[in-house]
Chains A and B, each alone.
Chain A
């Protein structure tokens, strides 16, 4: 099971860990296992700036003491404090991107057993992107399989969590299972027992990962990203719910097959957000576009998707409804890992601003108030403040419950009028564009992705949406418009501020 090693050659191990992954504990375990079983062990570490959140490399060399003996004495070996390029036997990474970093840093070669966990600890760049900045790690797995002698991976963090333990324990199990070290499974487990801390949980996670990796070696598994986008589910052939069954039949008869699934998802989304009538209205708005769609339903698909989100905007009623639902309580308990009979209170942080206030008024009154500077000043002074509400208290629950049920009122509000006015304008533009340039009509449909959120975020999103629409409409005849639109969409999704998009548009228009 062990690597064929000359007696006088050390075993070289690098461990890449993100702060908080217990890299120090794991390297300590490896060292201890080696020392208890006839090896000389040396290790070093280089933390990122301070010990905080950066990535740390731990480097270890283990040398069989048999090779160190001379005249009955153990000589001190000369061991390296850092890896030589492409000279590491075992590379471990507690996160998939760190496996990529190991390759980037020339740690991985055809002599390397690369063991990594596929869990994600998102980097700040991935988190702060306004659109979808999450890297899926597929190319890292491909490169690992290309360059390493053996590439062993799986969500070792998940395995650890399933055993109420931490990733250092499951990584240790994976290492034992890899067969890259000349120690038996029991020798690894003895180390955990010797430390005397959370022995049972650690051993369980160790065994879970051990079995998983043994299994993986016998039958390699394809890579599954830890974070995946939800797929649009297939439309069922029928439903017990009469209303839903009605919709299914309607979609079957009125819409082409390739878009059944997305349209059905849209219907459910709107029926849930408001009611069945509203879902029907969605279908009515969508239908004429589908009828005119001469392409392979790219426009229909995108419009079905974005129209559904456009018609279910985020308003006070939506938020109140969400915060009082059965699923909400279930999600809270799940997120905070509470048991079903635990007493849990939630305190919600709300800050309704002036637009939310006038948006909630009836159409005409709302329009007036929205333009009334005095009212705005009054609101800023008296009303514009944080509302921390204990949403699980009976008082606030009843308040929210009542608000969440004001669906009939919703249709009369200024906000609803504004939103639908905007949707109709957008649909009108798509309709006009459809007769000129199909691809740009699709791009127009996609711009609704930019409109989201509340308060300042909403204002920014709307600003970007509007700029994109203006640009596309005024460039209908431009041969390069499609390329530009794709680029601008990317800019809008990468940069939080409207100014970045405005600048890019100006640059394009200047040339």
Chain B
């Protein structure tokens, strides 16, 4: 079950024609899918599209009513392959993932799908994780659209436009027999806004009809000679039909301004940034009444040559705002104008930065440069309104040193913290080792305070990225082994095969740590096949240990309580020093704290309400015993473990303190013991609603202790 419940959001999916729908961008897309008669939905969770998956996972009754199939695909490749249901049957399908990473994984299936072509509308909804807040490499999905000849929709970032883009996408896909990518930037996925809803629609053609009336056409299968025909069909038939559809239905928009001689071309998703930059220079207002004619590319691939020609004709210069690199659109425009013999000058990345976010500030900087070069009036106004830094360099520098960075870290109570505390201790004992990291919460171990891990090559690829470091042909005495890390999410995504199976097959000598927290935790706590809880619509509780042994690993250690740091240290040490060959797999398993707390808090509250005996646990630090060295911090990074100055004015350095968000996971105490730190940590148990006997025993004990304390207090010397 996901970290958050979406039952409330699911209700909004039931809204009908004319009702105002309010909420997040990615959920608006979810609603739009249902309004457009989608037949099946799949995908792989990841920021910023996780909520689409989570809402569908919670919407099972509604989906049943509508006859829509939804699954959490094993990977993006699996999701993309799912779209093949629309190849031969007129059923609409949609899949979703984080891009470009997910598109990378999916691209084999996407290539096949777009070569075969589709009959039913096929929509790939990508959360474009580019720019501020992104957690992945900075690349463009645009390249995938171009190479596979899929169409790319990048709508203006308001919910009406985004919702319209879903229906445009399906229609365009069907009109041109081509899968379509709907690209949404991070901010648009998290955008809160509104649109007027429509009724949900059952799919026109059901999957059951397809199964009962199977169809095949050898020309649709990617095998020679059909594959050659398909390539011809792409350029001769599908592309022209797509261009025609885009023109006819005006998917791209022109906003006429008073200036006829110059213009701006912008990707739909950047339109609001552009308009704000213009408005700040009095060249537009907040309703989008621009003074400079603007062509908004809601479809960024293919570029429509006729529309470009018509927009540019009669204009001396046009500014193109195209985010990311390489500048595919700019190249395309130059070619179109050249071929059509139009001598409009296109300004693109020569005025804007070649790489990085096109924020309002960035566009604001480029505008006067453009107006200047275009010899346009308004230039002075624009330049005057162009922002100048109000902070002098000294102030900026001061802020740079005075404002600490906040690297992402493990949550309070995270079961992965003790794993990396143990690994750090092992490194202190056995020396540093090469560690191949992976994608997931566990990747935070590369940041302070743990500072472990060398590389991350992709989801589930931790062990395979360690594969070159196989010691079987090395003859150095006391050869160190490579350590690789993988989460349960990555394990089921592809790591079981590409990591574990590969290590078995190649007799790899390395140590593989599988961090199993019972969920795909980093993406919001979705279930995976090995999740421990009951899930009414999925099969869970499939053991990772069995899977690992099943592919042939002999050396497997399962630790089902990661908080036991000493045991972790012992097993890691054993794995690194044993003489046994082959992969050494350690499965470190404890439940994600966010999910666990969500469940346990409810039970606690219920018991409190019923006045039943219930114990609340928390850790604390004896402030007078803590010496203020902060070694415990360097083995923790827990948000609840913090510092405060000592009451003792003779102590210079602040002492440890645990705040009331502590969930008593035990890492503090374990680490203090394992690293032989200090005796200041304690675990406190508050007994709520104790029994009468317990109360009596406590009072008796209290009397003795009070007597002894008072006895000694009398002798103490106080001011």
Contacts and interface: CB of A to CB of B under 8 A. Distances in A.
Given A80-B272, A132-B652, A348 B681 contact: yes
A271 interface: yes
Interface string A385-411: 010100111100100010001000000
Contact of A239 (B287, B411, B695, B719): B719
Contact of A231 (B622, B646, B649, B675): B649
A79 B192 CA distance: 11
A20 interface: yes
Interface string B500-515: 0000000000000000
Contacts of A323: 622, 625
Interface in A68-104: 68, 75-87, 97, 100-101, 103-104
B618 interface: yes
B530 interface: no
Interface string B664-708: 000011101101111101111111101000110010010011001
B644 A85 contact: no
A3 interface: no
B135 A336 contact: no
Interface string A29-65: 0010000000001111111111111110000000100
B615 to A, nearest CB: 9
A43 B408 contact: no
Interface stretch (B115-123, B216-224, B343-351, B391-399): B391-399
Nearest to B685: A345
A228 B641 CA distance: 18
A386 B570 CA distance: 15
Please indicate which of the listed interface residues B406, B621, B646, B695 has the most CB atoms of chain A within 10 Å of its own CB.
Answer: B406
Interface in B618-633: 618, 620-625, 627-631, 633
B157 interface: yes
Please indicate which of the listed interface residues A243, A348, A353, A393 has the most CB atoms of chain B within 10 Å of its own CB.
Answer: A348
Interface stretch (A183-191, A361-369, A449-457, A468-476): A449-457
A110 interface: yes
A227 interface: yes
A244 to B, nearest CB: 6
B628 A347 contact: no
B247 interface: no
A82 B625 contact: no
A189 B639 CA distance: 31
A250 B151 CA distance: 90
Contacts, number: 380
B399 A143 contact: yes
Interface string A135-146: 101011001001
B717 A271 contact: yes
Interface stretch (A216-224, A326-334, A431-439): A326-334
A344 B390 contact: no
B522 A50 contact: yes
Given A122-B642, A331-B623, A348-B681, A305 B448 contact: no
B599 interface: no
Interface residues of B, number: 123
B325 interface: no
Contact of A456 (B390, B645, B675, B710): B675
Contacts of B534: none
B280 interface: yes
B191 interface: yes
A179 interface: no
Given A63-B286, A230-B646, A452-B627, A344 B47 contact: no
B631 A227 contact: no
A397 B700 CA distance: 14
Contacts of B713: 325-326
Interface string A242-274: 011000000000000000000011101101100
B682 A134 contact: no
A393 B702 CA distance: 10
Interface string B127-153: 000001101000000000000000000
Nearest to A404: B712
Interface string B230-262: 000000000000000000000000000000000
A110 B690 contact: no
A453 B678 contact: yes
Contacts of B698: 343
Interface stretch (A123-131, A289-297, A415-423): A123-131
A331 B271 contact: no
Interface in A444-466: 449, 452-457, 460-461
Given A49-B135, A52-B409, A110-B390, A326 B684 contact: no
Given A77-B286, A82-B187, A346 B682 contact: yes
B687 A124 contact: no
A131 B650 contact: no
Contacts of A348: 679, 681-682
B672 A351 contact: yes
Interface stretch (B366-374, B486-494, B539-547, B653-661): B653-661
A132 B655 CA distance: 9
A162 to B, nearest CB: 14
A465 to B, nearest CB: 13
B72 interface: no
A21 to B, nearest CB: 11
A85 B652 contact: no
A241 interface: yes
A460 B186 CA distance: 47
A337 B676 contact: no
B653 A131 contact: yes
Interface in B267-308: 271-273, 275-277, 280, 285-288
A122 B643 contact: yes
Nearest to A35: B22
Given A78-B158, A137-B402, 5 more contacts: A106-B389, A139-B402, A342-B686, A347-B684, A351-B677
The 4 closest A-B pairs by CB, nearest first: A123-B404, A455-B676, A46-B133, A349-B669
17 contacts: A18-B406, A44-B191, A52-B444, A79-B272, A82-B360, A87-B387, A97-B402, A100-B402, A130-B629, A229-B652, A232-B650, A269-B650, A336-B620, A344-B686, A348-B682, A351-B673, A453-B678
